[in-house]
Amino acid sequence: MSEAALSEPALTRGRAPWVQRLASWDTAVIVLAVLALLIASGAVHNFGTSRNFTFLLLDLLPVALVALPMTFVIVTGEIDLSVASTLGLTSAVMGLLWDSGLSIETIMPLCVVLGAVLGALNGFFVTVLKLPSLAVTIGTMALYRGLALVVLGDQAVAGFPRSYTSWVTGTVGGGVVPNLLIPLVVLALAFGLVLHATPVGRKVYAVGSSEQAARFAGIRVRQLKFWLYVVSGAVAGLAGVLWTLRYSSARADNGFGIELAVVAAVLLGGVSIFGGKGTLPGVLAGAVLLATVQNALRLQDVSSEALNIVTGALLIISVLLPNIVNSARAALRRRRAVIQEGKG
């Protein structure tokens, strides 16, 4: 899909010895994702069918979509746990507006704007009040989901226009690739370009590496973070619209808990939870790997709630492993230094 973008970061490390290249996290995840796809196609009954492949891509979509801005947010060293609730609230509001008789063409942009406003509220608390983003987005996670319930209760709104719902669930030319992959690829390319080839992207990394240094270098850290939250909310809003159309059902609990999959995909893709590190191709590979494992297990009749073990464990491992490797390296370096001192 974004083959060219995928291989780029690997190539830039071309001079490194092969061990180091193997150790490069995002390369490893890309390889792992491909391996998982191959192994699952061979070993899991029904995995390799074109029908299942379409479903795999459709399930991957909301997570991959929301993971794009989440990558930016986590690279700056912050987090946004409210994305799933933003998705739910936009879905609920979409149902409400549809019930009130507005046209779908008006509702969809309104929902994206609503997402952006919800993101702006996160941004306000994090950048203006300077509160820790984890605590803020836990609060908005509860608030937005609660408001979604207030708006729609346990009702579901259905009956969205056929032309939209069938496009969202349809495939390109009736083939394997879902239509929805088109907006994802476009957005992924846009986000990838911004992160890896523009001053904005370099600022994001600078802020994540050292916020103080970034500020001294003249970067408007708070402004940057604020807009990242706005974008994160807007994309979550878009995901809410697509989710609603895909299942042709606006419900308050839509997307419940997908923040776990999103954060897991981002961290699995090699983004450091401490900020400053990671690439977008790695994140997309992380999302593919996660979706593949989940899909294969689901075909083996593992319930989707129980799948949280796998997602949670992958998240924990992707935080732990780099830390263990780093501390092992540091210990090795210290020991070498001691040995050299002893020789001297």
Question: Which CB, 125 or 243, lies closer to other proteins?
Answer: 125
Question: Which CB, 26 or 259, lies closer to other proteins?
Answer: 259
Q: Minimal distance in Å, beta carbon 49 to other proteins?
A: 27
Kindly list the residues in this chain that would bind other proteins in the complex (CB under 8 A).
Answer: 79, 81, 125, 129-132, 134-136, 138-147, 149-150, 153, 252, 257, 259-260, 263-264, 267, 273-274, 303, 305-313, 315-316, 319-320, 323-324
Return d(Cα 187, Cα 284) in angstroms, integer: 12
Q: Are 137 and 73 in contact (CB under 8 A)?
A: no
Q: Minimal distance in Å, beta carbon 42 to other proteins?
A: 26
Q: Minimal distance in Å, beta carbon 45 to other proteins?
A: 21
Q: Minimal distance in Å, beta carbon 154 to other proteins?
A: 8
Q: Minimal distance in Å, beta carbon 301 to other proteins?
A: 11
Q: Kindly give the interhelix angle for 181-197 and 280-299, rounded to the nearest 10 degrees.
A: 150
Q: Are 44 and 272 in contact (CB under 8 A)?
A: no
Question: Which CB, 1 or 135, lies closer to other proteins?
Answer: 135
* CA 278 centroid distance within chain: 13
Element (DSSP H or E) covering residue 156? strand 156-157
> Which tokens in the block code for residue 334?
């210290």
Return d(Cα 252, Cα 275) in angstroms, integer: 32
* CA 65 centroid distance within chain: 6
Q: Minimal distance in Å, beta carbon 341 to other proteins?
A: 25
Question: Which CB, 137 or 292, lies closer to other proteins?
Answer: 137
The helix/strand/coil state of 171 is strand
CA distances to 193, 233, 252, 314 from 196, rounded to whole Å, are 5, 21, 36, 26
Question: Which CB, 136 or 242, lies closer to other proteins?
Answer: 136
Question: Which CB, 305 or 341, lies closer to other proteins?
Answer: 305
- Residue at token pair 């590979």: 285
Pairing of β 250-251 and β 156-157? antiparallel
Question: Which CB, 53 or 226, lies closer to other proteins?
Answer: 226
Taking residue 306's Cβ as centre, other Cβ atoms within 10 Å add up to: 10
Across the chain, the runs of DSSP E, i.e. the strands, are: 156-157, 250-251
* CA 45 centroid distance within chain: 28
> Which tokens in the block code for residue 215?
């500020």
Return d(Cα 261, Cα 264) in angstroms, integer: 5
Q: Minimal distance in Å, beta carbon 84 to other proteins?
A: 12
Return d(Cα 86, Cα 113) in angstroms, integer: 11
Q: Minimal distance in Å, beta carbon 146 to other proteins?
A: 3
Question: Which CB, 8 or 253, lies closer to other proteins?
Answer: 253
Question: Which CB, 163 or 212, lies closer to other proteins?
Answer: 212
Q: Minimal distance in Å, beta carbon 147 to other proteins?
A: 5
Q: Which candidate, 252, 257, 234, places its Cα nearest to that of 123?
A: 234
